[in-house]
Structure 1
Amino acid sequence: MRIGLFFWSLELGGVEHMMVELARALVERGHSVTLILARAARPDEYLPDPRIGIVRLGCATTPRTILKLAVHLSSLRYDLLYTAMPTTNIAAIAAISLARVPTKLVISERSNPVLEARHAPTWRYRAAFTLQPFVYPLADAIVAVSAGLADALAKSARLSRDTIRVIYNPAFCDDAGNKDRPALHPWLLDKDRPVILAAGRLMAQKDFATLIRAFALVRAQRPARLIILGEGPERPRLEALLDELGLESDVAMPGYRSDIRPFLAEADVFALTSIWEGFGNVLVEALGAGCSIVSTDCPDGPAEILADGRYGTLVAVGDEAGLCSALIRALDRPFDPQEQRQRARHFSVARSADAYETLFQHLVGAR
């Protein structure tokens, strides 16, 4: 099959990483795969497998992206186009309509639509959720990355739940030994006390402020350290909170790391404190490293990944005291590493690629 994967860019982020992983898995299966990117190249981006084609439309606005994508689709005639997130989903639907090509379209939803719309940074992004009920039915298939997200999308976009397929993200890749291992933080190289790890973009959605306050409660009861990997607009606020709570000597925020698996392998507990997700790729990475996990029971994804608490403790969103208790419990009674790793394989790249390949072949064969 000739497959196009359409997104805005390959900047460092969860959706972009999943697109690159899916593209690699599909090209390894003998398909012709092209990443179609709306934006121009950026300094910090994921580097796809060299066998994957890259087309950059070089657009700064959505209307121009739709027009250039339509022209591109008319000239190359893909068998199937796959997209992720509301804005690119809608742009792809419009472009295929303009191009009048028989290309099959699979759109995917990656985050809770109600909460994304409520916290949308711009009116344009908010408008995409308003359009979902009218344009999503025009796609040949709709995918959600968790069952909870599929339920939420069906309700918010007024879609029949039966029309939404659930395919988990290709989040676990058992090839850690083939990658260069980045330098670890000194606290993980020479541990004199347990280390709690968190990772994600420093933004309000991830609610690292609650994690820091909960860690202050942990520190009042026992020695421990906290490392938060990531960058984002919340850094000044979080640093001010560390100063306010007197935690600078026990909490480190060393910035973004492209591969956090070596950190996970040495950490004692991984903590996720998001207010909402769509899946929670980092939880699968933590499982794959055999790490004990504490996570908020937020919509959508963590409860599914952790099997309602079997593979990690679930706490209410924003519950500092509950989070503190769960962290201490995980430090004292770690989860079984082998069982954690086995659970991660349920969300492997191979299993996700199998599901997508089956769906794509069915749609293309039905033309």
Structure 2
Amino acid sequence: MAALPIRSLALIVRTLEGGGMQRIVLLLAEAFAKTGIQVEVLTGHDAGTISKLPPGASIRCLPRSNVFSSDLALLKARPRDAFRLLPLLTPLKPDMFRRLPALIEYLRTAKPDAILAAGTQSNLAAIIARAAAGVPARLVVSEHNTLSIVAHRGHGVFRWAYPGLVRRFYPEADAIAAVSRGVAQDLAQTTRLPEELITLIYNPVDAEAIARAGEMPVEHPWLTDRSRPLILGVGRLHRQKDFPTLIRAFAIARQQRDLQLAILGEGSERKMLEMLCHQLGVQDDVLMPGFVDNPFAWMSRASLFVLSSAWEGFALVLAEALASGCPVISTDCPSGPREILQDGTYGSLVPIGNSEAMASAILTTLAAPPDAARLRARAAEFSVDATVAGYRRLLEGADNSR
């Protein structure tokens, strides 16, 4: 099939608040816009709080419909799939399906040449909306998390139904992408989709922007006093990130060395984590300032970055820490860290939830930190250009015969 030129692209993501997937969508929007493509990011987020995008890119907040209107739109779009769609026909349906009528209307009116959706619920909504709108736009869906774990541990009936819904609807997309080999393999195994239908496209790291941000001044005494090594964690205060294991590991390592720990992020587990710090007697040496505007200034000054997650899709923040030249260790969680660190070549991998092994890796890495230039070189392999080229091939149909 000859490649089809793209003049306009719709990027669909549930929200632009926090998270690696959201940063990736904005990075892709900027990169595609710089190639001359008119890009519009469609989201449920209040676009007014997002930093300005370059010329040729914009953000549209899709309005939320009431339950009745969104259910009616879904059933009208897929009457033959009504039974299969029952998990989406509840007041607690995924947010993008409350915005399905607006998404269908947008596609009918704007008629973009191509659509790139990010995340399971956005992928499903995009597939159904494109068919309902009757537009010929090529559609690429991208899976950003380990579906089997999301379906098993996620809240809400609709997440338990994801594997069946994905198996039914993903083949209607023109292409399916996964952000790590682990995500691709899990997607195939969980949904029984042929793995050859899934294209691996790693998430991008803007190494030059991270380096510039890392050089910016930041006001905090822990970042200027280098007498005590600073351990850093970054992410939502959510069970997925398993910060209790990091705090316990820090408490163990601190018995042998004078250390400080900063966890940048906010979330529902804050009070529990603060209580744990008090129980372990490390409350004076653990800082949780919430989300910060420039985490890269912390990464470039930290002695060690630790990813303690129970599961990931790619673990973008781990690659960003490498781009900052910061030594890293990570849990060997599905999916992403083992691929980013090349089986432990660029940082130690420890078992999930094992605070003793994590403490040992912390002390070992601090005693003999790796070369920062080597870490930055590894991060540079996940370039924005490579990611954009991968998605563009799928969006244009250049190497896909579906």
TM normalised by structure 1 equals: 0.95
Q: How does 1:113-152 map to 2 (within 5 A)?
A: 113-152=147-186
- Evaluate the alpha carbon distance shift between residue 130 and residue 47 of structure 1 in structure 2; reply closer, same or farther with a 3 A threshold: farther
Using the alignment, how far apart are the partners of 1:350 and 1:181 within structure 2?
A: 25
Q: Secondary structure at the match of 1:307?
A: coil
Deviations along 1:343-363, whole A, 9 cap, x unmatched? 001112222112212222225
1:22 Cα deviation (Å)?
0.4
Aligned-pair distance for 1:285?
Answer: 0.8
Tell me if the contact between 2:115 and 2:137 (Cα under 8 Å) persists in the aligned partners.
Answer: yes
The superposition leaves residues 312-332 of structure 1 with CA deviations (integer Å, 9 ceiling, x where unpaired) of 000000111110110000000
1:43 is displaced (CA, Å) by: 6.6
Partner in structure 1 of residue 114 of structure 2: 80
Q: Is 1:272 the equivalent of 2:278?
A: no
- Report 1:16-27 matches (<5 A): 16-27=22-33
Separation in 2 of the partners of 1:40 and 1:310? 38
RMSD of aligned C-alpha atoms?
1.9
Whether the 8 Å contact between 2:36 and 2:56 is mirrored in structure 1 is no
Amino acid at match of 1:49: P
Q: Which amino acid counterpart does residue 125 of structure 1 have in structure 2?
A: R
Relative distance call for 1:259 and 1:51 in structure 2 (3 A) is farther
Range moving further from structure 2, 169-178 or 236-245: 169-178
**Could you report, residue by residue, the CA deviation over 1:271-321 in whole angstroms, capped at 9, with x for unpaired residues?**
000000000001111111111111000000000000000000000001111
Note the C-alpha offset of 1:130: 3.0
Instruction: Tell me which residue corresponds to 2:73.
Output: none
Q: Which residue matches 1:360?
A: 395
Q: Cα distance, 1:47 vs. partner?
A: 4.1
Structure 1 counterpart of 2:128, from 94, 119, 122: 94
SS at match of 2:300: helix
Deviation at 1:262, TM superposition (A): 1.0
Count of residues in correspondence between the two structures? 366
Equivalent residue, structure 1, for 2:291: 256
Q: CA deviation at 1:365?
A: 10
**1:325 aligned partner:** 360
Cα deviations by residue, 1:248-276 (Å, 9 ceiling, x for unpaired): 11111111113211111111110000000
Q: CA offset at residue 102 of structure 1?
A: 0.7
When residues 124 and 195 of structure 1 are mapped into structure 2, their CA distance, relative to the original with a 3 A threshold, is same
- SS at 1:308 equivalent: coil
Distance in 2 separating the partners of 1:209 and 1:132: 32
Deviates more, 1:296-305 or 1:43-52: 43-52
Deviates more, 1:266-275 or 1:346-355: 346-355
CA distance in 1 between counterparts of 2:47 and 2:268 reads 19
Q: Which moves more between the two structures, 11-20 or 295-304?
A: 11-20
Q: Deviations over 1:127-176 (max 9, x none)?
A: 33331111111111000000011000001011100000000111233124
* Residues 207, 379 of structure 2: 8 Å contact kept: no
2:266 aligned residue (209, 216, 231): 231
Q: What is the letter of the counterpart of residue 141 of structure 2?
A: I
TM value normalised by structure 2: 0.87
Aligned to 1:34: 40
* Shift in CA distance, 15/47, structure 1 to aligned 2, threshold 3 Å: farther
Deviation at 1:228, TM superposition (A): 0.7
Deviations 1:6-26 (A, max 9, x none): 122322222111000001001
Change over 3 Å in CA distance of 1:279–1:59 after alignment to 2: same
3-state DSSP of counterpart to 2:278 = helix
Structure 1 CA distance, aligned partners of 2:252 and 2:56? Answer: 50
Please give the residue correspondences for 1:51-62 in structure 2 after superposition, counting only pairs within 5 Å: 51-59=56-64, 62=96
Matches of 2:51 and 2:268, distance apart in 1: 21
> Which residues of structure 1 form unaligned runs of 5+?
none
